Structure 1
Amino acid sequence: MAGRRAAAWEQGGDEYDYLFKVVLIGDSGVGKSNLLSRFTRNTFSLDSKSTIGVEFATRTIQVESKTIKAQIWDTAGQERYRAITSAYYRGAVGALLVYDVTKGATFENVKRWLKELRDHADANTVVMLIGNKTDLGHLRSVAQGDAAAFAEREGLSFVETSALDATNVDRAFQTLLTEIYRIISKKALASDKAASGAGAVGEGQPIQVAGGVTTRCCAF
């Protein structure tokens, strides 16, 4: 049962097993903020304005009997805000790379966003490609097959969503968070096994497992 409490749980007053930082990246206007609000508050705004600076929201879910708190960060896609890059990516263990299925240019720019992510984030960051705004299917300019092929080449998960009608939004976040959990729990187990041969890790002792996520180990 390694990972009984996240190291930072005391800060929020609520208890959870893991705290995962996830970042939303992609061009301005692709719907990142509405994906965030749909997942964390189940709301959508047709007249939402471009994000200025950085904002984040949280939601707690259950994954394989563990309580996972997702801290999801959203920032503007405009070039003038790129100075925050390093701080924005620091500690992230997951990323949703979003494009607009009705705007081909936003899909073309996915390559640049992925490079930026890989330049600044941890090498083990789990990435999912999101084709948003499927409710505007009559305006589609990015074929689902093209995006799926790109995701496969780059080793990314892929799903199309609509923040407006909530299609696949929960599925996208749940899939990403579950994958992160499974990777990190395997690393924690490997750490426990390694420690058992050279002195066990004591209950409540923090161990660093990946990308800035710290968990606490408990005795078996």
Structure 2
Amino acid sequence: MESYDYTIKVILLGDYGVGKTKLLDSFVRFQDSSPSCCCVIRHHHGYAEIQLQRDKRNILVKLIDTEGQERYRSLTSSYYRGANGCILMYDVTAETTFENLHNWFDDMNNYGSHEMPVILAGSRCLADDRVVSRERGEKFAEHMHVPHVEVDSASNHNVMSLLEDVVDLVVAKLSKSPYDEPSTTTLLYTNRQTKGKSWCNC
């Protein structure tokens, strides 16, 4: 049996149709493009296990997709339970998916850990019919104190670097001594408002 320094669970969140399943499939399809990715251990609909090596650490990443449950607002605390990190997605070609991001942060506040590292990812960034600019995505991410990246699963644009980034954030948090001072790389989303929107999406 393979031995791992860390086994981490990363969940995918975002509105129905933003590309979560395509991103998950891309992690598997393009894993050979990353020098840190050793192999795909297991992959089936809504779930994948990928082995990574980062800073000489052997890491097993369990990636979990919502499998469409978000369409009916049926995600519960069980989906968030045990999650070490999150990739929160919106579609740069669909305004509503961007406007709904504050609802997903509220859900994470209700069901998940307040200190779970989160990366905000705008999908389909190479599409010609973009309606959400990169600047708006970055502005919202800055307000929520999380990093922002744009990806395109079809072309493998930033796909594996996104996976590596979220793994690095999770491992940094897990390996951090409780006696250390808070780090700016430990991404907390504690400044958001739970009632109403205090951010501007214009």
TM class by smaller structure: 0.7 to 0.9
Aligned to 2:138: 148
Structure 2 counterparts to residues 199-210 of structure 1, below 5 A? none
Aligned to 2:15: 27
TM-score where L is the length of structure 2 = 0.77
Aligned to 1:182: 172
Aligned to 1:157: 147
The answer as to whether partners of 1:91 and 1:122 remain within 8 angstroms in 2 is no
Aligned to 2:51: 60
Q: Unpaired segments of 5 or more residues in structure 1?
A: 1-12, 44-53, 192-220
More helix by share: 1
Residues 26-46 of structure 1: per-residue CA shift (max 9 Å, x gap): 011110001011112339xxx
State the Cα distance separating 1:134 from its structure 2 match. 1.4
TM-score where L is the length of structure 1 = 0.71
State the Cα distance separating 1:151 from its structure 2 match. 0.4
- Alpha-carbon distance in structure 2 between the residues aligned to 1:77 and 1:140: 26
State the Cα distance separating 1:140 from its structure 2 match. 0.4
State the Cα distance separating 1:77 from its structure 2 match. 5.3
When the two chains are superposed, the root-mean-square deviation of aligned CA atoms in Å is 1.8
Larger radius of gyration: 1
Higher relative contact order (CA 8 A, sep 6+): 1
Residues 156-193 of structure 1: per-residue CA shift (max 9 Å, x gap): 111000000000011111011001111111137x59xx
Q: Unpaired segments of 5 or more residues in structure 2?
A: 32-44, 181-202
Give the letter for the 1:18 counterpart.
Answer: Y
- Alpha-carbon distance in structure 2 between the residues aligned to 1:163 and 1:85: 27
Q: State how many pairs are aligned.
A: 166
Aligned to 2:70: 78
The answer as to whether partners of 2:50 and 2:61 remain within 8 angstroms in 1 is yes
The answer as to whether partners of 2:16 and 2:71 remain within 8 angstroms in 1 is no
Name the % identity: 32
The answer as to whether partners of 1:127 and 1:156 remain within 8 angstroms in 2 is yes
